[in-house]
């Protein structure tokens, strides 16, 4: 019966998947077809999940009943060899108040305690992601006091945030935040779904020593879900973004009869309208991971995945001309201020493999390789204010056939030995990443169907027919950009005593970048530079629950690339060096982790200069200096009360600029303070019922380099409920979250509106 149901479900789902692909290809569908497709998909996916979990439970029962409970040797029914990844799966749980104790690794360094890491480190765990009901980093960032949202997921579905005022970038241009996945660099691919991630690790500060190519703001490492030690079958059904249907299946464990093998599979389907009128999302994600224990001292890991994301009626971006006295008040972001025919479509496939081998009692080897391929196209609008009364132009951008491919690899050797009474953990190795960015010959088209004063945010959006100008696309692919980053690394952790540790090392970082004119294939700009990047830290641990540290770090910053609408389009600015001083304290008090950190970071300042004649130019002038403090807390502060969050306060300023008007100014889009707290309280009168709530405050910022256009601060509040129970032997979790409960209208940045009130509901079953 199970086989029949599964086969039937597969045939139906295959038919609907093919139909859905054809409809997505046309980027349009009738309402009746859309509703049919929506329910058919969910029925197929839910039926498939039910079949899988039924089979898994049946296999488990057969294994238990075959020869009685004592017929198998203990090693067969026990978990497979415990891996470092499995140590992370229970770290930072809701029961512990989301207070993590471990970090999977810091650059080339291996897993260690957070208290033993001389940098500011925070962990956003799997259970936190589940209980917040979020699936993008931009949504998760609302509970991190160290992350400022920069681009909403409803616009690009990319993870764009800033740390200490330095932001992420795309397509290999200069970035203030490095994103990695299990330690692999992910140049220009900021798209990360969270359903297949075990945790998100945030490291603030200069990371050039750790990664070669520097990111002065910090590093965000996405840790992939790995096989579990015991069988796992979780299914979640719900509605996100107010009404888009959602289903997620998470399956894993040892392969029956083969304790040396472990697997993990995640499947996601989301389809339907979002909180923005006329906007719909169509998202799928499939990832699979396999662990192969080649012996007690060798672990081979394989992981692969595919994701598809199509957003219709894309959210508009915004801007303002310099003769605009100030930004108007934020309009209602639940309205579509773009056009109904806009869209953003991304497809990403990736695969990676790693091999960890213990070569000798004192020597280990780690090898890894990753490949990623991204296809994207979009039709988007930008609204530019021309007056303080809300009148704006609307420019339409079109591009089709963006193609980004990247390869990442590393090889490290880890040695442990004693010398002159001190214990050494020495790591040497190489890592690198290479990326090609290919575009169609007419890769960037734009038109302005709205002219000054044609529409106003106070009058409401105006919709027009899609201009015929955007219907023709030259699909011939042309190389636009090549980025390569190679690094030689040597680092040593020296434990002088149990109370004193020194970490020091140096990286030779090499950055190569070339841009090409897609019309002529001629090289537009290039650079090839290497530099030695040092780092040193002193870590003092008076007790097991307290540590203090001081760190000095340097980095080589990749130069920014002039955008297509600049007079120097495609030109790569020269790389610059950055440096940072860090000093901090970490304490594990009871069930809570407290952190305090002072930082002083400096890097070259690059910005877009408006020339006064309607043109703009990307230039580099002066230095940015960002210095301030970070305070973080996570854990159980009282019985039944969880608190997570903190405060960032800093003073970002421009100095040493040849343009005197820039001196002392704050870099644009940089808020100088953030206050974020998220709390949970277990209600005593009903076991399993938890109330949740959060506050997210971000200070004001400027939308221009001369600090004349100020964008006001904003504060939003979230509320939620969670109920855990057991029904017919099956653990269930019901979750309800309402974000921005007051429906506050605000500017997320100078370019994007903040999300309106949204609600999410789900029920999760653990089989």
Q: For the beta carbon of residue 702, count every other beta carbon within 10 angstroms.
A: 20
Q: For the beta carbon of residue 32, count every other beta carbon within 10 angstroms.
A: 8
pLDDT of 763 strictly over 50: yes
* H or E element at residue 39: helix 31-65
Q: What is the DSSP pairing of strand 218-224 with strand 177-181?
A: parallel
Question: Residue 188: its pLDDT value, please?
Answer: 55
Angstrom distance (rounded) from CA 578 to CA 533 = 10
Adjacent-strand bridge partners of 65: none
258-300 pLDDT, tens per residue?
999 999 999 999 999 999 999 999 999 999 999 999 999 999 9
Q: For residues 191 and 351, is the Cβ–Cβ distance under 8 A?
A: no
Question: Residue 70: its pLDDT value, please?
Answer: 31
Report which DSSP code applies to 117. Answer: -
Q: CA torsion angle for 289, 292, 293, 299 (degrees, to 10)?
A: -70
Q: What is the DSSP pairing of strand 616-638 with strand 641-655?
A: antiparallel
What's the whole-number mean pLDDT along residues 366-385? 90
Report which DSSP code applies to 751. Answer: S
Angstrom distance (rounded) from CA 587 to CA 633 = 10
Percentage of the chain beyond pLDDT 70 is 82
pLDDT of 663 strictly over 90: yes
> For the chain, percent helix, then strand, then coil, each to nearest 5?
15, 55, 30
pLDDT of 454 strictly over 70: no
717-748 pLDDT, tens per residue?
999 999 999 999 999 999 999 999 999 999 99
Question: Residue 415: its pLDDT value, please?
Answer: 97
What's the whole-number mean pLDDT along residues 219-243? 93
**126-154 burial: b if 16+ Cβ within 10 Å, else e:** bbbbbbbbbbbbbbbbbbbbbbbbbbbbb
What's the whole-number mean pLDDT along residues 531-545? 94
Instruction: Band the pLDDT of 572: cuts 50, 70, 90.
Output: confident
Q: For residues 423 and 494, is the Cβ–Cβ distance under 8 A?
A: yes
pLDDT of 12 strictly over 50: no
Instruction: Band the pLDDT of 384: cuts 50, 70, 90.
Output: confident
How long, in residues, is the chain?
767
132-165 pLDDT, tens per residue?
999 999 899 999 999 998 888 777 666 688 999 9
Angstrom distance (rounded) from CA 203 to CA 197 = 17
């Amino acid at each position: 019966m199970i086989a029949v149901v599964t086969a039937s479900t597969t045939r139906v789902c295959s038919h609907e998947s093919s139909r859905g692909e054809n409809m997505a290809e046309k980027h349009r569908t009738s309402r009746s077809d859309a509703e049919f497709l929506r329910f058919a998909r969910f029925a197929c996916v839910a039926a498939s999940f039910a079949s899988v979990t039924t089979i898994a439970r049946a296999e488990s029962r057969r294994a238990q009943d075959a020869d009685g409970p004592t017929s198998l040797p203990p090693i067969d029914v026990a978990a497979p060899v415990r891996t470092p990844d499995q140590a992370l799966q229970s770290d930072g749980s809701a029961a512990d108040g989301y207070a993590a104790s471990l970090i999977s690794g810091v650059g080339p360094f291996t897993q260690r305690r957070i208290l033993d890491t001389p940098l500011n480190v925070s962990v956003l765990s799997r259970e936190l992601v589940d209980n917040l009901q979020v699936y993008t980093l931009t949504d998760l960032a609302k509970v991190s006091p160290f992350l400022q949202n920069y681009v909403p997921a409803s616009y690009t579905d990319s993870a764009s945030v800033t740390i200490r005022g330095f932001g992420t970038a795309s397509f290999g241009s200069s970035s203030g935040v490095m994103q990695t996945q299990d330690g692999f660099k992910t140049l220009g691919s900021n798209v990360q779904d969270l359903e297949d991630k075990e945790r998100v690790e945030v490291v603030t500060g200069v990371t050039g020593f750790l990664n070669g190519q520097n990111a002065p703001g910090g590093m965000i490492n996405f840790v992939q879900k790995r096989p579990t030690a015991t069988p796992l079958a979780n299914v979640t059904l719900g509605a996100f973004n107010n009404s888009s249907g959602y289903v997620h299946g998470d399956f894993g464990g040892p392969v029956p009869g083969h304790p040396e093998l472990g697997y993990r599979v995640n499947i996601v389907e989301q389809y339907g309208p979002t909180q923005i009128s006329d906007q719909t999302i169509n998202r799928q994600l499939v990832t699979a991971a396999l662990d192969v224990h080649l012996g007690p001292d060798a672990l081979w890991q394989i992981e692969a995945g595919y994701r598809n994301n199509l957003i219709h009626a894309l959210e508009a971006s915004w801007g303002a001309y310099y003769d605009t006295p100030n930004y108007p008040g934020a309009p209602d972001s639940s309205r579509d201020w773009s056009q109904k025919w806009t869209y953003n479509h991304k497809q990403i496939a990736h695969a990676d493999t790693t091999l960890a081998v213990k070569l000798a009692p004192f020597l280990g080897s780690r090898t890894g390789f990753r490949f990623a391929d991204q296809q994207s196209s979009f039709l988007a609008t930008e609204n530019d204010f021309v007056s303080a009364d809300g009148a704006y132009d609307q420019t339409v951008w079109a591009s089709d056939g963006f193609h980004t491919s990247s390869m990442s690899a590393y090889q490290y050797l880890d040695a442990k030995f004693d010398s002159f009474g001190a214990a050494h953990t020495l790591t040497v190795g190489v890592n690198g990443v290479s990326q090609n960015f290919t575009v169609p010959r007419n890769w960037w088209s734009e038109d302005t169907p709205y002219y000054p004063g044609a529409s106003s945010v106070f009058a409401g959006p105006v919709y027009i027919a899609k201009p015929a100008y955007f219907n023709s696309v030259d699909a011939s692919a042309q190389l636009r950009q090549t980025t390569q980053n190679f690094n030689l690394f040597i680092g040593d952790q020296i434990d002088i005593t149990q109370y004193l540790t020194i970490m020091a090392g140096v990286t030779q970082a090499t950055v190569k970048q070339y841009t090409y004119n897609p019309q002529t294939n001629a090289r537009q700009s290039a650079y090839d530079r290497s530099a030695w990047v040092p780092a040193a830290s002193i870590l003092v641990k008076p007790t097991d629950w307290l540590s203090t540290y001081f760190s000095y770090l340097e980095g080589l910053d990749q130069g920014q690339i002039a955008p297509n609408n600049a007079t120097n389009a495609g030109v790569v600015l020269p790389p610059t060096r950055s440096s940072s001083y860090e000093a901090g304290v970490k304490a594990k008090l009871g069930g809570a982790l407290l952190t305090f950190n002072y930082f002083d970071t400096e890097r070259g300042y690059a910005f877009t200069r408006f020339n006064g004649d309607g043109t703009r130019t990307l230039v580099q002038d002066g230095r940015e200096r960002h210095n301030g403090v970070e305070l973080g807390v996570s854990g159980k502060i009282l019985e039944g009360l969880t608190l997570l969050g903190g405060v960032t306060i800093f003073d970002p300023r421009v100095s040493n600029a040849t343009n005197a008007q820039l001196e002392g100014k704050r870099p644009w889009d940089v808020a100088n303070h953030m206050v974020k707290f998220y709390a949970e309280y277990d209600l005593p009168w009903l076991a399993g019922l938890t109330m949740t709530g959060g506050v997210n405050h971000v200070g004001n910022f400027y939308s221009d380099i001369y600090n004349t256009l100020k964008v006001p601060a904003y504060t939003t509040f979230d509320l939620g409920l969670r109920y855990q129970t057991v029904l017919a032997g099956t653990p269930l979790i019901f979750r309800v979250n309402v974000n921005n409960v007051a429906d506050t209208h605000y500017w997320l940045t100078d370019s994007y509106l903040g999300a309106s009130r949204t609600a999410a509901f789900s029920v999760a079953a653990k089989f």
